[in-house]
Structure 1
Amino acid sequence: MKILDRYIDQLIEQSTPESPVWNIEKIREGSNSTWNYIDGCMIKAIIELFLITRNHRYLDFADAFTGRFVREDGSIESYDPKEYNLDNVNAGKTLFDLYELTGKEKYRRAMDTVYSQLKEQPRTSTGNFWHKKIYPHQIWLDGLYMAQPFYMQYEAEYNGCKNCEDSYQQFLQVYGRMRDPLNGLYYHAYDDSRQMFWCDKVTGLSENFWLRAMGWYAMALIDTMEVMPESMACQKARLNAIYKELIDAMLPYQDQATGMWYQVVNRGGIAPNYLEESGSAIFAYAIMKSVRLHY
């Protein structure tokens, strides 16, 4: 724990909203820091550390960092909902905790700003959100992590659960269309229009099973189940079964020496494929959290 404390302390001490050390590539390019999914992941993690430790240094940092972008009227600097980019929804997940913990009304208003994107987000013929406006007709596994936990929580807490079923159905569409029934793995992307160069013209699916994409999907399932209302017990049980199938499908491909997985999951040991750290860490997170929550 002391090593983790030192690492987190270093991140906090060396980071500002304008120059976070975990997203330094953009700064080195000379670009300004913006509202983005990477910061959303990190600030959510720091808030979780506060909830575990009750060390107000973590909450103060998260509040100052996110508060730098969120204006009093709920608008968010550098964020345009009409870009219809699901990646930009992810940071919205921090707003629920920050509103509850600080009582600042600007965070409640900012939730509405992020939700306004999802109300108008273009959809495929299956009813799924496009991953981005610039990627029309496409579903990516990443997008379920970026958008669905926020969507489900907002609906459950602030919209009378009117569209909770819609969020659930988007998972079922991915399960039915993007999962390979032979090995239980998921293709990274699906093009509903069958126009993209990377997709199979019959199925619309991309070619490979990408580790990190399936990791995003595993986390999406866990994080969405966590915020589902009690009235959706049957739907939650179905997502839980889908999650268990995914983990069972992944285990045969796990490298026994390291416990990690390969970047292209089912092509282990074939150069230039390699054991990949971030996707392996994502699955560690998902599995540990699912055990803690008894999923």
Structure 2
Amino acid sequence: MFLASLIPLLTLFLSGTQARPKSYAVWAADSAIARGQGNGLDSAGVNPIVSYEHGEFQWALRLLYELTGNKTYFDYIQAGADNIVFPNGTVHGSYNLTAYALDPIRTGPTFLYLYEQTLQAKYKTAATIFRTQLNGHPRTAQGQFWHKLMYFNQGWLDGIYMGDVFYAAYTKAFDANNATAWADITAQFKLMFDNTIQNATAPNNTGLMYHGYDFSHTAVWASPDRGHSPEVWDRALGWYAMALVDVIEMAPANSGQLKPTLLSILNVLAPKIRDAADPTTGVWWLVLTQPGRALNYFESSGAIMYVYALLKAVRLGYVADPDGSIVGAASKAYGYAVANWVVPNGDGTMDWKNTVSVGSLSTDGSFEYYVNQTVDLNDLKGLAAFVLASIEFEKL
């Protein structure tokens, strides 16, 4: 009954100009490609750049290629990877192993996918360079990867999506019987959850996860108890939620406690994410711990990441939704996104609005910090997530 009620909504979304594809996933992806986004080059289209945004977009293009069979998407993925991988497999561009940053590793799943599809050794070599980084990557005393060498003892939710989706994919591809690696990946998710989840006595309690934590308690923003940051930032939680559903999907039977641990965390978070949506619009505030506060706003990347994660979680049976409220919440948010953040252009492409450019714990992690960051048009962090969410919504 609930899914039947979505048919008029979907019809409304797919109506309008015939100059564009009926699929929002295809329209968004084609628009980004037309602008030259996510192709392994900087915004000027000149210098190679190892960018997590590109890795996110290439992940979305892979799913779209598998759905449509349109080889344009595969060719674009490969061209983007070839812009940052030398023929001998060395990763060039902006990659610097000694910075020990997790963000660049988000391009690693692209290398793994291309090796699987082409068997070209350079892609395996490039992926192995990233895997080697993890061997020496700095960790907290508990074993959590630091987000970056310059962020002493800090774990950020962002880093789970950047580093551990690749870690899991590489282990599955080349080291599937490594019980130590599977236990380590499990620990990365669990440590992040345990150290950042809001407890019942937290002010502005949402039951969700703070942006990050400092195990050494030396950062200016670190709380006295677990060293967590002061606010729940929407996109950080979005990265973590997407990582949960993607890694659960790829977890093999011999991955130990990985799948049950991640399922347990996902089932805590999914209803809390649903409940944190603004009741009127159905979407989420930039700073989830300060709903309705002056200068706070509805931010598009975090919101659309939740749509993807929630719909995928229910579709694959990871989260039960007997009353349809989770799918309903995600669908309402998707409707808001299409109505408010998708802008048709006269040339048949679309623009994507309202994605905040950055969110970091390099300063004080305050509400004022988050709400004063630039909001971008066609920011790939949000646009790629819109492709992913559209794929899920269109599967309904």
Of the two, which has the highest radius of gyration? Answer: 2
**Worse overlay, 119-128 or 96-105:** 96-105
> What is residue 175 of structure 1 aligned with on the other side?
193
> What is residue 161 of structure 2 aligned with on the other side?
145
> What is residue 129 of structure 1 aligned with on the other side?
145
From the superposition, tell whether residues 163 and 7 of structure 1 become closer, same or farther in structure 2 (CA, over 3 Å).
Answer: closer
Contact residue 101 and residue 149 of structure 2 kept, 8 A = yes
TM-score under structure 1 length normalisation: 0.91
> What is residue 85 of structure 2 aligned with on the other side?
70
Larger relative contact order, structure 1 or 2 (CA cutoff 8 Å, min sep 6): 2
TM-score under structure 2 length normalisation: 0.69
Identity %: 34
- Matches of 2:67 and 2:119, distance apart in 1: 19
Q: How does 1:19-168 map to 2 (within 5 A)?
A: 19=41, 24=43, 27=44, 32-78=47-93, 79-159=95-175, 160-161=177-178, 162-168=180-186
From the superposition, tell whether residues 157 and 7 of structure 1 become closer, same or farther in structure 2 (CA, over 3 Å).
Answer: closer
> What is residue 235 of structure 1 aligned with on the other side?
258
From the superposition, tell whether residues 18 and 163 of structure 1 become closer, same or farther in structure 2 (CA, over 3 Å).
Answer: closer
Shift of 1:76: 0.7
> What is residue 376 of structure 2 aligned with on the other side?
none
From the superposition, tell whether residues 151 and 46 of structure 1 become closer, same or farther in structure 2 (CA, over 3 Å).
Answer: same
Shift of 1:184: 2.0
- Matches of 2:188 and 2:40, distance apart in 1: 35
Is the partner of 2:243 in helix, strand or coil?
A: helix
Letter of the structure 1 residue corresponding to residue 303 of structure 2:
S
Shift of 1:220: 1.4
Is the partner of 2:255 in helix, strand or coil?
A: helix
Q: How does 1:136-285 map to 2 (within 5 A)?
A: 136-159=152-175, 160-161=177-178, 162-182=180-200, 183-232=206-255, 234-285=257-308
Letter of the structure 2 residue corresponding to residue 247 of structure 1:
A
Structure 2 gap ranges (5+): 1-20, 201-205, 319-396
- Matches of 2:258 and 2:49, distance apart in 1: 36
1:2 aligns with 2:22: yes
Is the partner of 1:139 in helix, strand or coil?
A: strand
Is the partner of 2:155 in helix, strand or coil?
A: strand
Shift of 1:291: 2.2
What is the number of equivalent residue pairs in this alignment? 288
- Matches of 1:76 and 1:33, distance apart in 2: 10
Letter of the structure 1 residue corresponding to residue 233 of structure 2:
W
**Going by fraction, where is helix more abundant, 1 or 2?**
1
Contact residue 40 and residue 92 of structure 1 kept, 8 A = yes
**Worse overlay, 123-132 or 74-83:** 74-83
Shift of 1:19: 4.9
Shift of 1:101: 1.6
Shift of 1:6: 3.8
Shift of 1:18: 6.3
**Worse overlay, 231-240 or 37-46:** 231-240
Shift of 1:49: 0.8
CA offsets, 1:2-45, max 9 Å, x none?
2533442232233174656xxx4xx49xx944111011111111
Contact residue 81 and residue 116 of structure 1 kept, 8 A = no
Contact residue 199 and residue 207 of structure 1 kept, 8 A = yes
Contact residue 40 and residue 51 of structure 2 kept, 8 A = no
- Matches of 2:79 and 2:308, distance apart in 1: 26
Shift of 1:208: 0.5
Letter of the structure 2 residue corresponding to residue 276 of structure 1:
E
